[in-house]
Amino acid sequence: MEMFLLVLLAVVVVLVGFVIAVYNGLITRRNRVQEAASDIDVQLKRRYELIPNLVNTVKGYATHERELFEKVTAERAGMMTGSTGDRIAASNQLTETLKTLFAVAEAYPDLKANQNFLSLQAELTDTQDKIMASQRFYNANVRDFNTAIQVFPQNMLAGMLGFVAFEFIEATAAETANVEVKF
């Protein structure tokens, strides 16, 4: 009887240890996903703060392009509200508008050569690269977390402990469309 109690106690200790290890592992992975989402927000905020400088620089050269500047400003305002997915969608819309802004800049040779404009354009390109890297990092962490809560035996505990899968960041239809190059 005494041996049975010792074996039972050992099994209970192992099970409790297993549950604790699984729980702590899932918490760590969830925190990594949340950190990755926060990294995206940091890069979106950086871009958000660069845009007024770019617009003001271009505005000085292209005063008759007022509608475009208003559109950039409005889309910029939408970038910092809502969920991470909403902010990314707004950022994608802003990217399309910025392409138009850069096309406008092509019509102004002095602007294209302006050091402030070139510097801001390089900063925006760098920031866009960082946003994409942050999104890849986020998706990698989402993949790891979602896999961890779906594999046996962690899937049984994850559901009971309230862990749910995160959504991946995916490209929009406009981003996956073929690019038409004209000469």
Band of the pLDDT at 30, cuts 50, 70, 90?
Answer: very high
Distance CA 46, CA 167 (A): 24
- Position 175 in a domain: no
- Position 7 in a domain: yes
- Greater model confidence, 6 or 116: 6
Q: What is the mean pLDDT of the chain?
A: 77
- Position 68 in a domain: yes
- Position 180 in a domain: no
Count the Cβ atoms, other than its own, within 10 Å of residue 42. Answer: 12
Q: Which tens digits make up the pLDDT trace of 146-179?
A: 999 999 888 888 888 899 999 888 766 665 555 4
Task: Using the predicted structure, report yes or no on whether residue 117 has a pLDDT greater than 70.
Answer: no
Instruction: Find, among 85, 82, 9, 6, the residue nearest to 40 by Cα.
Output: 85
- Position 173 in a domain: no
Task: Using the predicted structure, report yes or no on whether residue 39 has a pLDDT greater than 60.
Answer: yes
Please provide the distance, in angstroms rounded to a whole number, between the alpha carbons at the two ends of the chain.
88
Q: Which tens digits make up the pLDDT trace of 75-97?
A: 666 666 667 677 777 777 777 76
- How many domains, in total, are found in the chain? 1
- Position 115 in a domain: yes
Identify the CATH number of the domain in which residue 122 sits. Answer: 1.20.1440.20
Residues 6+ apart with CB under 8 A from 132: none
Q: Are the C-beta atoms of 151 and 26 separated by less than 8 Å?
A: no
- Position 38 in a domain: yes
- Position 133 in a domain: yes
Task: Using the predicted structure, report yes or no on whether residue 136 has a pLDDT greater than 80.
Answer: yes
Task: Using the predicted structure, report yes or no on whether residue 35 has a pLDDT greater than 70.
Answer: yes
Task: Using the predicted structure, report yes or no on whether residue 144 has a pLDDT greater than 60.
Answer: yes
Q: What residue numbers bound the domain in which 62 lies?
A: 2-165
